[in-house]
Amino acid sequence: MQTRRPVSPASPLAKARRIVVKVGSSLLVDGTTGRLNRAWLETLAADLVRMRRRGQQIILVSSGAIALGRRQLGLPGGALRLEASQAAAAVGQIRLAHAYKEVFEAQGVTVAQVLLTLEDSERRRRYLNARATLNGLLGLGAVPVINENDTVATTEIRYGDNDRLAARVAQMASADCVVLLSDVEGLYTADPNVDANAQFVDRVVRVTAAIEAMAGTARSDFGTGGMATKVAAARIAVSAGAHLCVAAGAHKHPLRRIERGARCTWFVPQGNPRTARKQWIAGSLRPNGAILIDEGALRALRAGKSLLPAGVTGVRGRFDRGDTVSVITPQGREFARGIAAYADGDVTRIMGRKTRELDELLGYRGRDEMIHRDDLVVVADEVATENE
């Protein structure tokens, strides 16, 4: 019999003010019948209602649209072609939203459907707009239920997994806790199915390259994200000052279970969170391009300086002024991300040149910096950086 533990006041979940809960497809949709697990959803709703009564604000990020829609349309199992998954999402999303409405309204809570595209988090103006919408809904007492707008998402332009979407939403809403509920119990030092010495990891204080390596590429059967996308989500959440928990969610009352101390992996937020703007830059899921730099520029960036055209050796991809780009070291590693002050064509024109030469090369008065220090965030973790 399971021991009954009271809610631990130390649980970040009990203490949080605003919480994002991500629900994976494998929990919501029965793997054999393809039907919604309504009984389970009711217990999740009961947990969330109880948390709201304690004064906590809740945002749900829910998968399951494609899984529900494919059954309705009689589509085959396995990977779907883009058109088929877009169609399945359109059919499944309406069912998903209906289920949330019924289950939550029965407990006196209003839900609000919000469908996001990658651009809504990656473009600064749209990000700020989506943030205002979420704050508005929470202020009115509704529970936003978010999913990717899979019907219009294409292979190139999509989140693809709701783990990173949930982390981006947490950052957007300044949430202080994220819970990723799925069929994965948490992080192990190695794949427990393969390695008998694999140890469970309860707490991660820093998302290093070693932690990312532990996540490997393990995948669950049903959802899109494996442990790797969960660790990527954790990196975004902790740098935004939020705790993130990866937990198995198939049990009834999955959140109450976590509060009572069930096994899960907690990622702990970083000590001094970056400014909101820098968090947004660092959390970018898809930089538009890349700027390659030399050793001198790398030293300058390590010392907290801006990136000047003189230290740039090349560009990759197409980007405009104001787009987010990766900054790549001579060793080919992503060291930082920032907002480019020049489009890729102009970068090519002025790279390697001195500041005083710029006006003549460009034909207009441009910025001295390629990326200003206020628009630049180091993303390489220290361990990896030392070994470079």
Asked if residues 148 and 116 have their Cβ atoms less than 8 Å apart, the reply is yes
Least separation, in Å, of the C-beta of 61 and ligand GLU?
9
Q: Residue 186 CB, nearest distance to ligand GLU (Å)?
A: 17
Closest to ligand GLU by CB, 179 or 298: 179
CA distance 214 to 165: 21
For the bound state, the minimum distance from the C-beta of residue 85 to ligand GLU, rounded and expressed in Å, comes to 8
Residue 149 C-beta: closest distance to ligand GLU, Å: 9
CB closer to ligand GLU, 56 vs 265? 265
User: Closest CB to ligand GLU among 153 and 214?
Assistant: 153
Q: How far apart are CA 23 and CA 156, in angstroms?
A: 24
Q: Write down the least CB distance from residue 144 to ligand GLU, Å.
A: 15
In DSSP terms, which residues pair with 116 in a beta bridge? 148
- Least separation in angstroms between residue 134's CB and ligand GLU is 18
Q: Are 75 and 156 in contact (CB under 8 A)?
A: no
Which residues are near ligand GLU by CB under 6 A?
A: 25, 63-67, 147-148, 150, 161-162, 223-225
| Sequence-distant (≥ 6) Cβ neighbours of residue 17 within 8 angstroms | 55, 56, 57, 176
* CB closer to ligand GLU out of 54 and 81: 81
246 versus 297: smaller Cβ distance to ligand GLU: 246
By beta-carbon proximity to ligand GLU, the closer residue of 63 and 288 is 63
Rounded to whole angstroms, how far apart are CA atoms 331 and 328? 8
Q: Which is nearer to ligand GLU, 161 or 176 (CB)?
A: 161
Q: Please name which of 171, 175, 269, 182 lies closest in space to residue 230, comparing C-alpha atoms.
A: 182
**Scanning the structure block, which residue is given the tokens 């309504």?**
38
CA-based nearest residue to 65, from 178, 148, 152: 148
For the bound state, the minimum distance from the C-beta of residue 84 to ligand GLU, rounded and expressed in Å, comes to 12
- Give 164 or 243: the residue with its C-beta nearer to ligand GLU: 164
Q: CB of residue 362 vs ligand GLU: minimum separation in angstroms?
A: 43
Q: Identify which of 189, 209, 141, 130 has the alpha carbon closest to the alpha carbon of residue 165.
A: 130
CB of residue 156 to ligand GLU, shortest distance in Å: 16
Could you give the strand order of the β-sheet that contains 324-328, starting from the edge strand earlier in sequence? 312-316, 289-293, 324-328, 334-339, 376-378
Closer Cβ to ligand GLU, 183 or 381, answer by number: 183
Q: Return the number of the residue (64 or 186) whose C-beta is nearest ligand GLU.
A: 64
Q: Provide, rounded to whole angstroms, the least separation between the CB of residue 66 and ligand GLU.
A: 3
Q: What is the dihedral of CA 37, 244, 328, 154, to 10 degrees?
A: 20
Query: What does the alpha-carbon distance between residue 254 and residue 235 come to, in Å, rounded to a whole number?
Result: 23
